[in-house]
Structure 1
Amino acid sequence: MLLYRSLLSCCLVFALSGPAMAQSPSTLDKVKTSGAITIAYREASLPFSYLGADAQPTGFGWDICGRIVDQVRRVIGRSDLVVRTQAITAQNRIPLLTNGTVDIECGSTTNNAERNKQVAFSINYFYTGTRFLVRADSPVRSVADLKGRKVVSTTGTSNLQVLRKLNADRGLGFDLISAKDHAESALLVQQGRADAFGMDDILLYGVRASAVNPASLAVVGETIQVEPYAIMLRKDDPAFKKLVDDTLKDLIRTGEFTQLYKKWFESPIPPKGINLNAPMSEELRANLRNLSDQPAQ
């Protein structure tokens, strides 16, 4: 009987260590073997990740991704590492990361508790809160003014959940609809088919700056639920997360992070040379000292 139990235990251990429990290779092993790393970018999340006048990805997050790729090359010993790009949306960014299509996303993704169940995040590198884009001639100037109106946000964003909660908590009774991306959300406002576009305020400034007539739009309302942005990575990959975090720490320590911030948030940026005039928030200044990857709840 003892021999039988021992054999049974061995069989169970063997079964559990088979394909069902096989782990995917780490990101560093994956890119070293393949000779390529795939970076996810957003097409219209100005100034974090967007297409420039040459139709190539650019932005604050994109620059930081470039520094991370440089470090990956050094660590894996492959100066010939090829950088591939993949456009993503708010809806598909997590699936494309978890299934291995992309290896890293440096964009405008909120680091929150729900997403941490599926992916991992770096040290937080920006803080923002939900506000509203309206037509300049709109009477909407505060959250209270949304009562009974039509509000749009982008599918797959945390802002939709924030706005649903706001609507319920304050009994505003606004009609909340969704659009496929930020550009479509803004278009609905410009065409008068929605009264306000609820989104992270910094992205709204970018949308406004990219409009044919920026003066026709305004960013209004009190900030709702300040949340952090961070670089999105696959879960359970401590070596790659350490590399990404260490790269960010080095950028912060040397002052290059602050230089990049001034380049993208406090200087004229492509494609129209508009300055967002968005000084660093107190939350971000604090996190440059604390170096936390704490998610929003």
Structure 2
Amino acid sequence: MNTAIHSMSRVLFGVVGAALFVSSGAALAQSTDPILERIKAKGTITLGYRESSIPFSYLNDDRKPVGYAMDLCLKVTDAVKQRLQVPALKVDYIAVNPQNRIALVANGTVDLECGSTVNTLGRQAQVDFSAPHFISTTRLLVRKGADIKEVEDLNGKAVALPINTTPERLIKALIEAKKLKVRIVPVKDNSEGFLALSTGRVDAFSTDDILLSGLRKSAPVPLDYEVVGRPLSFDPYGLMLQKNSTVFLSLVNATIARSVRSGELNASYDKWFTPLDVPMSKDLAAALKLAALPE
């Protein structure tokens, strides 16, 4: 095993292992927790969704939140109904974005965030994450025919970066380290980033590659755009929830484990990612195997 693969394996094991240890071991010490108590008291579970994180969480033509992460959160909702014995549990939806998603989860406004949020050490100080349900990397979306293949090609050009995201910090650090002259255009979300690219305000938009593929697929003429560049990061996505709710976290991870073992999660992946021509990566397959704990 080469050094890069060994390093990736340790990171992946750490992410999954930490989530599963917290959710299984600590949960044994208590029978309920703040999130479940809040849900039961309200008779409602509140799910946070993204408006344009295709195919994880976005609004369809009927303005209804749908996507791969939304499907998984609805499976968690079914598990909560059984756990609390509240079959008529209501579901409320709250739109979140990169600027407010962590705060809304941390303060309890959102019970479970169903989007495309990367699990990082810094964020773990404020919120908890489920086991990974996707692995992404940072790349670039450009107009086809543009003379841009890598970050280094942005020298003298403009790039849109989503505020308060892992790609924003990464690309800024690379620009500084390589002493590139790049004009950075901050955007609030993916749709604004794509708008900046499609209208010529910027030469590239950088965020998670899978989100870029979703934006490209939804463009009026997808062939006008391409996702380029070497993988710049290793970013595990997790469902996000308030800290110190170990029973609820255990329930979320158990839902993921059972969905993997039953084949439901793979079917959901095929449903949402096949139209984007994105087969499941070896990294994600490994992550899901680790998450699929036996009963």
Q: Could you state the TM-score of these two structures normalised by the residue count of structure 1?
A: 0.85
- State the partner residue of 2:258: 250
Root-mean-square deviation (CA, aligned residues, Å) is 1.2
2:203 aligns with one of 186, 192, 195: 195
- State the partner residue of 1:6: none
Verify: 1:133 aligned to 2:147, yes or no.
no
The list of structure 1 runs, each at least 4 consecutive aligned residues, that deviate by more than 6 angstroms after superposition, is none
What percent identity do the matched residue pairs reach?
A: 40
Instruction: Deviation per CA, 1:4-36: give whole Å up to 9, x if none.
Output: xxxxxxxxxxxxxxxxxxxxx611111111100
Instruction: Deviation per CA, 1:202-255: give whole Å up to 9, x if none.
Output: 000111111112111111111111211000011111000000000000001111
Instruction: Deviation per CA, 1:135-184: give whole Å up to 9, x if none.
Output: 11311122221122111111121111011111122222322221121111
C-alpha separation between the residues in 1 aligned to 2:259 and 2:179?
45
Q: Which amino acid aligns with 1:44?
A: S
2:165 aligns with one of 157, 171, 179: 157
More helix by share: 2
Return 66-75 or 177-186, whichever deviates more: 177-186
Superposed, 1:49-60 pairs within 5 Å as 49-60=57-68
Instruction: Deviation per CA, 1:71-111: give whole Å up to 9, x if none.
Output: 00000010111101111111111111112211001110000
Q: Which runs of 5+ in 1 are unaligned?
A: 1-24, 267-274, 293-297
Verify: 1:259 aligned to 2:263, yes or no.
no
- State the partner residue of 2:56: 48
Aligned partner of residue 103 in structure 2, secondary structure: helix
2:246 aligns with one of 233, 238, 244: 238
- State the partner residue of 1:7: none
Q: Which amino acid aligns with 1:280?
A: M
C-alpha separation between the residues in 2 aligned to 1:171 and 1:124?
34
Aligned partner of residue 165 in structure 1, secondary structure: helix
Q: Could you state the TM-score of these two structures normalised by the residue count of structure 2?
A: 0.86
Q: Which has the higher contact order (CA 8 A, sep 6+)?
A: 2
C-alpha separation between the residues in 2 aligned to 1:77 and 1:236?
22
Q: Which amino acid aligns with 1:171?
A: K
Larger radius of gyration: 1
Q: Which amino acid aligns with 1:200?
A: D
C-alpha separation between the residues in 1 aligned to 2:234 and 2:184?
20
Per-residue deviation, 1:260: 0.7
**How many matched pairs?**
260
- Is residue 107–residue 242 contact of structure 2 (8 Å, CA) maintained in 1? no
C-alpha separation between the residues in 2 aligned to 1:184 and 1:276?
20
